[in-house]
């Protein structure tokens, strides 16, 4: 299971993707960001701009994976070219993802001409790139397909990792890095290889059994299955260290936070480590902040269970922002019974894409609901 999740997060490799052999591949670098453009044999002058998800520092990029073309099969098989940027940096790169994707789209138009149709698509953090693109560059697109997206405000999404670690270390001290170590030492700590980080999963799983009731309650509070709690904790630590290195400090303030829902809330709040935020670091997460201001059709595809971006963050929070803007007519949510982050089949992705395309071609908003 750990191997499956790890592959999903780094390369998003899903079994069962149909074989798709591009007729032409164009690659290069724009402003320090490498890119790949794939053309299908039956290219119909249509384009999908694709944004990849979060990648651990120094890990291979998704666009370099030999199976990348297979993952793009739902688009290539429908006659769409796919253009994807590797971004100027790895790890948290939401602003860079938005800017580098737009730079690549401009490059495509200059080199190959303007497509008659352009859609935006992306997974996980790339889903956040998709939404940010539709909020800032919508005039260049007919619509978007964010998959399991980071659609909440970046601060809220990453604050979840901070709070999970803060409480985890009260209930299970010594199983992972303290929040003090993460906040105070991350700027000078080199990123660890993924296999080294996730080798800590079994010891944490064993440690949780010392108080399985507290572990179950903690998992439930953060919309996790118990078996995914160690992975979520380790993933959260890597994300926090990444943010602290890049922003130059701690973006999060929990000095006024009251933690609740545990067997002994008093004890948790007395023992939890508390930190004030660096304003500079907080501001770092405000670049291309979510607004909900969309004006083109957006179909969000999500699973009923996601151990990294639960439905409340991926769907509910963004829907509230969209409604505050009176733009709900441009948003539709489709969901599958997938049991993990971005666990969609090729057929499900293709069906969601067809739903978006039909919406654009007919002007009739589709019904939200399940995709089998």
Instruction: Give the per-residue pLDDT at 19.
Output: 52
Task: Let me know whether 6 and 148 are in one domain.
Answer: yes
- pLDDT tens string 193-222: 888 888 999 999 999 998 999 999 999 999
Instruction: Give the per-residue pLDDT at 20.
Output: 62
Task: Let me know whether 111 and 49 are in one domain.
Answer: yes
**Nearest CA to 225 among 341, 306, 316?**
306
Q: Is residue 81 part of a domain?
A: yes
Task: Let me know whether 237 and 308 are in one domain.
Answer: no
Q: Show the tokens assigned to 192.
A: 């660890």
Task: Let me know whether 365 and 306 are in one domain.
Answer: yes
DSSP string, 147-215: ES---S-HHHHHHHHHHHHHHHHHHSTTSS--HHHHHHHGGGPPPPPHHHHHTTHHHHHHHHGGGHHHH
This prediction's pTM: 0.93
What is the SS3 assignment for 255? coil
Average pLDDT of span 264-286? 97
Q: Is residue 161 part of a domain?
A: no
Query: 34: which DSSP letter?
Result: E
Instruction: Give the per-residue pLDDT at 191.
Output: 86
Q: Show the tokens assigned to 101.
A: 């994707």
Last residue of one domain, picked from the residues 284, 300, 315: 284
**What is the extent of the structural domain holding 311?**
2-153+291-370
**Nearest CA to 364 among 356, 295, 372, 143?**
356
Query: 316: which DSSP letter?
Result: I
Instruction: Give the per-residue pLDDT at 17.
Output: 40
Write the CB contacts of 195 (distance below 8 Å, at least 6 apart in sequence): none
**Nearest CA to 51 among 89, 83, 77?**
83
Range scoring the smallest mean pLDDT among 10-24, 44-58, 302-316: 10-24
Q: Is residue 122 part of a domain?
A: yes
Mutual angle of helices 229-247 and 201-208, in 10-degree steps: 120
Write the CB contacts of 319 (distance below 8 Å, at least 6 apart in sequence): 328, 331, 333
Q: Percentage of the chain surpassing pLDDT 90?
A: 90
Average pLDDT of span 219-243? 96
**Nearest CA to 154 among 93, 101, 99?**
93
Q: Domains in the chain: how many in total?
A: 2
Q: Is residue 235 part of a domain?
A: yes
What is the SS3 assignment for 266? helix
Q: Are 215 and 236 in contact (CB under 8 A)?
A: no
Write the CB contacts of 184 (distance below 8 Å, at least 6 apart in sequence): none
Task: Let me know whether 210 and 111 are in one domain.
Answer: no
C-alpha pair distances (Å), 44 with each of 50, 78, 280: 17, 9, 46
Q: Round to whole Å and give the CA distance between 255 and 309.
A: 25
Angle at Cα 318 formed by Cα 324 and Cα 350, nearest 5°? 130
Q: Is residue 166 part of a domain?
A: no
Q: Round to whole Å and give the CA distance between 106 and 35.
A: 13
Task: Let me know whether 11 and 97 are in one domain.
Answer: yes
272-299 CB burial, b ≥16 within 10 A, e <16: bbebebbeebbebbeebebbbbbebbbb
Instruction: Give the per-residue pLDDT at 146.
Output: 98
Task: Let me know whether 226 and 123 are in one domain.
Answer: no
| Reported confidence tier of residue 13, pLDDT bands at 50, 70, 90 | very low
Number of C-beta neighbours around residue 93 at 10 A: 26
- pLDDT tens string 38-81: 999 999 999 999 999 999 988 899 999 999 999 999 999 999 99
Q: Is residue 129 part of a domain?
A: yes
Last residue of one domain, picked from the residues 284, 304, 332: 284
Q: Are 171 and 218 in contact (CB under 8 A)?
A: yes
Instruction: Compute φ and ψ for 130, nearest 5 degrees.
Output: -60, -45
Q: Is residue 341 part of a domain?
A: yes
Task: Let me know whether 134 and 251 are in one domain.
Answer: no
| Reported confidence tier of residue 18, pLDDT bands at 50, 70, 90 | very low
**Strand 24-30 vs strand 46-51: parallel, antiparallel, or unpaired?**
unpaired
Instruction: Compute φ and ψ for 146, nearest 5 degrees.
Output: -80, 125
Task: Let me know whether 19 and 124 are in one domain.
Answer: yes
Is the pLDDT at 1 greater than 60? The verdict is: no
Task: Let me know whether 50 and 145 are in one domain.
Answer: yes
**Nearest CA to 182 among 199, 202, 161, 203?**
161
Q: Is residue 162 part of a domain?
A: no
- pLDDT tens string 146-194: 999 999 999 999 999 999 999 999 999 999 999 999 999 999 888 888 8
**Nearest CA to 115 among 213, 60, 170, 37?**
37
């Amino acid at each position: 299971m750990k191997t499956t999740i790890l592959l999903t997060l780094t390369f998003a490799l899903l079994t069962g993707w149909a074989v798709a052999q591009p007729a032409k591949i164009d690659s290069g670098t724009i402003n320090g960001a490498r890119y790949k453009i794939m053309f299908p044999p039956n290219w119909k002058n249509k384009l999908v701009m694709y944004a990849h998800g979060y990648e651990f520092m120094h890990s291979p990029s998704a666009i370099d994976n030999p199976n990348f073309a297979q993952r793009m099969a739902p688009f290539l098989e429908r006659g769409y070219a796919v253009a994807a940027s590797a971004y100027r940096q790895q790890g948290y790169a939401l602003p860079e993802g938005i800017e580098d994707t737009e730079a690549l789209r401009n490059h495509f138009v200059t080199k190959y001409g303007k497509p008659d149709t352009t859609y935006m698509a992306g997974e996980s953090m790339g889903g956040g790139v998709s939404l940010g693109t539709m909020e800032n560059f919508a005039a260049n697109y007919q619509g978007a397909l964010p998959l399991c997206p980071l659609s909440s405000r970046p601060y809220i999404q990453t604050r979840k990792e901070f709070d999970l670690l803060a409480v985890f270390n009260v209930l299970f001290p010594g199983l992972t890095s303290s929040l003090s170590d993460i906040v105070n030492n991350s700027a000078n700590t080199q990123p660890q290889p993924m296999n080294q980080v996730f080798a800590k999963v079994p010891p944490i799983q064993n440690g949780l059994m010392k108080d399985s009731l507290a572990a179950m309650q903690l998992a439930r509070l953060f919309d996790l299955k118990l078996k995914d709690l160690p992975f979520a904790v380790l993933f959260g630590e890597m994300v926090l260290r990444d943010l602290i290195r890049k922003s130059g400090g701690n973006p999060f303030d929990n000095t006024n936070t009251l933690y609740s829902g545990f067997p002994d809330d008093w004890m948790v709040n007395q023992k939890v480590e508390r930190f004030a935020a660096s304003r500079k670091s907080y501001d770092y997460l405000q670049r291309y902040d979510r607004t909900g201001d969309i004006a083109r059709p957006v179909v969000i595809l999500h699973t009923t269970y996601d151990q990294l971006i639960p439905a409340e963050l991926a769907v509910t929070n963004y829907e509230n922002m969209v409604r505050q803007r009176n733009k709900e007519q441009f948003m539709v949510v489709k969901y599958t019974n997938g049991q993990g982050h971005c666990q969609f089949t090729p057929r499900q992705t293709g069906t969601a894409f067809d739903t978006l395309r039909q919406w654009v071609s007919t002007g009739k908003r589709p019904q939200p609901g399940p995709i089998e």
